[in-house]
A and B are shown apart, each in its own frame.
Chain A
């Protein structure tokens, strides 16, 4: 059986989750702790991918990142092509999952008593140090839960990926797309095996999360 869709999905989900963490944690912290102009707009933009139909998102991303689009045009000028490559699947996964991480991490940061952060400041710690030694250690559970959710969502991303990366076997056909493809081609045994793999990976992750959550800090 061709396991390429599994490896691709893992590679896409790991890359997307890393990017989501990189962008999502600072964003969640800013939303939880800072007042800045346009804050409400940012909150809405973050949640939008959760409520919009994935095909609509995919359509707009295609408009934005396609060869004729404003961002895609710049990339093309630099000799880079995004649409219908595996990086497009990464972009799709990030857009589809970033809200889950941001909302979970934001709630985690908001639950940290601001007095603890102020205490750290009076004890000479910089904002950077306050975050790493107080805020994050007290909110890591929420950040981790958000990360696992985002990873699972990235693994399962279908609609945006289909629009933006296509379903090219051996290039952009991720696990969910492959399952759909096998069912369409009436190759039920393969569809069954791939579906079981997807269930297995998510189950292991969620169980692992429950174990970690039992740690104190």
Chain B
């Protein structure tokens, strides 16, 4: 259980956040300069907040009201810094054992050997940091933090120092390690895929504030606002006008079409008619209508639209098409209206490379309305 409430004013920047988590792994996600690392420094005790409270489990790390501010030495927080901050003058074994100085020598050696073995670093014990690969350095930094049996683990961009091929492999490795050691962890990242893979709960930072904190699936499917949708990289974030809203349906006008969306039953949003409304359509949920099966059936194909492929990109297993609708007027996203993602097989069967005009349909459950 982690409860964080922080106010920290710096020249030109103010951090003002509050979030809680009972999940084992939390990700702080957001653009650079949003205050994520600042939050970690406050959690570690390296920075003293101006106001607020930090509680980890049953221990109060900081409480401005009660005048409590535990120094970093007494928090037992394992911090994996961005770029790892390994001690360059010490071997791998000495780095991992650095936080164990107050333990008897025999116990210290046993603990270091155990940590090195569990992280697959035993063969590197006598090496120096500059003789290691990026992935090995990351594991040494992790080992150094885990060796002290921390009450909380902090990881600042743990994968950003790695090259792309190693990154994906190590991301899953790291996720497994975090779960195996079972220590509550806070991971800072500006990569949403990373946050989603590693964490159970995601806290989104923007400009020193939290814009949404939710379990990861909820965040992906129900971003709280247009701003959140844009930060997490949702594509096809669009703006239309409300025609009619009821607790279970929202009708809206967009690019000359009348679209119907499902209103969330738990979070019913009832804007009045004529109000602007933001929504998004996931590119992989747009259906292309086959021309060899007769005319589309309005009962089966809801939210029918038509347009032309104006641009496309090959992502190996999928193709991303940019479609410009036939309706007159400026396209919604620069020179196109909708991004549509199709599996490679579909692209080949439908011969999209030759046939550029398509009718599209979107199920009402796949149009996600974003509350203002």
- The proximity string for B residues 72-94 relative to A, scoring 1 for CB distances below 8 Å and 0 otherwise, is 11011111010101011100000
Interface status of B148 (Cβ within 8 A of chain A): yes
Interface residues on A, range: 10 to 19
Check A125 against B75 for contact (C-beta < 8 Å).
no
Which residues of the partner chain B approach A125 to less than 8 Å between Cβ atoms? 73, 98-99, 101
The distance in angstroms between the C-alpha atoms of A141 and B32, with both chains bound, is: 36
One of A53-61, A114-122, A190-198 at the interface: A114-122
Interface status of B144 (Cβ within 8 A of chain A): yes
Check A115 against B73 for contact (C-beta < 8 Å).
no
Check B148 against A124 for contact (C-beta < 8 Å).
yes
**Choice from B45, B89, B145 contacting A217 with Cβ under 8 Å:** B89
108-131 of chain A: CB within 8 A of chain B:
113, 115-116, 118-126, 129
55-110 of chain B: CB within 8 A of chain A:
71-73, 75-79, 81, 83, 85, 87-89, 98-99, 101-102
Would you give the shortest CB distance from A66 to chain B, in whole angstroms? 47
Check A122 against B78 for contact (C-beta < 8 Å).
yes
The closest CB in chain A to the CB of B73 belongs to: A124
Check A116 against B73 for contact (C-beta < 8 Å).
no
Which residues of the partner chain B approach A118 to less than 8 Å between Cβ atoms? 44, 46, 72, 79, 81, 85
Which residues of the partner chain B approach A129 to less than 8 Å between Cβ atoms? 101
The distance in angstroms between the C-alpha atoms of A120 and B79, with both chains bound, is: 10
The closest CB in chain B to the CB of A120 belongs to: B98
Which residues of the partner chain A approach B72 to less than 8 Å between Cβ atoms? 118, 121-122
Would you give the shortest CB distance from A135 to chain B, in whole angstroms? 11
Check A138 against B89 for contact (C-beta < 8 Å).
yes
At the interface, is chain B mostly helix, strand, loop or mixed?
Answer: loop
The distance in angstroms between the C-alpha atoms of A119 and B44, with both chains bound, is: 10
Given contacts A121-B72, A124-B148, contact A217 B88 (CB under 8 A): yes
Given contacts A118-B46, A118-B72, contact A123 B85 (CB under 8 A): no
The closest CB in chain A to the CB of B147 belongs to: A123
Would you give the shortest CB distance from B144 to chain A, in whole angstroms? 7
Interface residues on B, range: 20 to 34
The distance in angstroms between the C-alpha atoms of A116 and B71, with both chains bound, is: 17
The closest CB in chain A to the CB of B79 belongs to: A122
Interface status of A134 (Cβ within 8 A of chain B): yes
The closest CB in chain B to the CB of A127 belongs to: B73
Which residues of the partner chain B approach A113 to less than 8 Å between Cβ atoms? 85
Interface status of A137 (Cβ within 8 A of chain B): yes
The distance in angstroms between the C-alpha atoms of A126 and B74, with both chains bound, is: 10
34-50 of chain B: CB within 8 A of chain A:
44-46
Interface status of A210 (Cβ within 8 A of chain B): no
Would you give the shortest CB distance from A35 to chain B, in whole angstroms? 14
**Choice from B81, B87, B148 contacting A134 with Cβ under 8 Å:** B87
Interface status of A214 (Cβ within 8 A of chain B): no
Interface status of A216 (Cβ within 8 A of chain B): yes
105-149 of chain B: CB within 8 A of chain A:
128, 144-145, 148
Given contacts A115-B81, A118-B46, contact A123 B89 (CB under 8 A): no
261-288 of chain B: CB within 8 A of chain A:
none
The distance in angstroms between the C-alpha atoms of A152 and B52, with both chains bound, is: 54
The distance in angstroms between the C-alpha atoms of A156 and B114, with both chains bound, is: 56
Interface residues of A (CB under 8 A from B): 113, 115-116, 118-126, 129, 133-134, 137-138, 216-217
- Known interface pairs A119-B144, A122-B99; 8 further A-B residue pairs with C-beta atoms within 8 A, sorted by A's residue number: A115-B83, A115-B85, A121-B72, A121-B73, A122-B77, A123-B148, A137-B89, A217-B89
Q: Which 7 A-B pairs have the closest CB atoms?
A: A123-B99, A217-B89, A115-B85, A121-B72, A122-B79, A119-B85, A122-B72
